[in-house]
């Protein structure tokens, strides 16, 4: 079992509070013979369409010495998961969950904004103290 991020339970609680059902903890992405764990899999019933919205969530705490280096590592992991998830389960969208105080540091960096836009990175910005989702960036 892979080690959980320090904010794993915070994001899990925030998704549940937002109306999501956690379906996988972790969500295993099969790539050939290898299974890679993405932190969470979740679904939400869309009443108007009688359909389900499916997501996978990779949670990052950015606890290293450099937030930019941490973002580079998270970006690489996110892109690897995104490419492979599209081949295995195209309907499931991948999100990167980051604490709101980290997002506030990164949002002023051009390199962060360009990467988010260029690679179409979907973000869940969560408030760790109250375990709530502050913002979805789709």
* Domain boundaries, given as residue ranges, for the chain: 8-137
Average pLDDT of the residues in 111-133: 96
Helix (H, G, I), strand (E, B) or coil at 44: strand
Cis omega (within 30 of 0) for bond into 26: yes
- pTM (predicted TM-score): 0.93
pLDDT at 48 over 70: no
Average pLDDT of the residues in 92-120: 96
Name the more confident of 39 and 51: 39
- Residue 91: how many other CB atoms lie within 10 Å: 11
pLDDT at 47 over 70: no
**pLDDT digits 0-9 by tens, 9-27:** 999 999 999 999 999 999 9
Q: Which has the closest alpha carbon to 19: 42, 50, 41?
A: 42
Q: Could you give phi then psi for residue 21, rounded to 5 degrees? A: -105, 125
Q: Which has the closest alpha carbon to 78: 95, 91, 102, 61?
A: 95
Q: Which has the closest alpha carbon to 124: 69, 44, 58?
A: 58
Q: Is 51 exposed, middle or buried (0-12, 13-18, 19+ CB in 10 A)?
A: exposed
pLDDT at 87 over 80: yes
Helix (H, G, I), strand (E, B) or coil at 42: strand
pLDDT at 49 over 60: no
CATH 3.40.1350.10 assigned to domain 8-137? The reply is yes
pLDDT, position 51: 76
Q: What percent of the chain has pLDDT over 70?
A: 96
């Amino acid at each position: 079992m892979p080690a959980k991020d320090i904010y794993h339970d915070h994001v899990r609680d925030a998704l549940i509070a937002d109306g999501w059902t956690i379906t996988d903890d972790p969500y295993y992405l099969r790539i050939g013979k290898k299974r890679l764990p993405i932190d969470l899999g979740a679904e939400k019933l869309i009443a108007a369409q009688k359909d389900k919205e499916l997501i996978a969530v990779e949670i990052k705490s950015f606890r290293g010495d450099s937030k930019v280096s941490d973002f580079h590592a998270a970006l690489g992991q996110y892109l690897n998961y995104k490419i492979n998830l599209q081949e295995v389960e195209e309907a499931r969208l991948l999100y990167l969950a980051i604490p709101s105080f980290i997002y506030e540091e990164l949002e002023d960096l051009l390199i962060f904004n360009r990467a988010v836009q260029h690679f179409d990175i979907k973000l869940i910005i969560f408030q760790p103290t109250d375990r709530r989702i502050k913002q979805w960036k789709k």
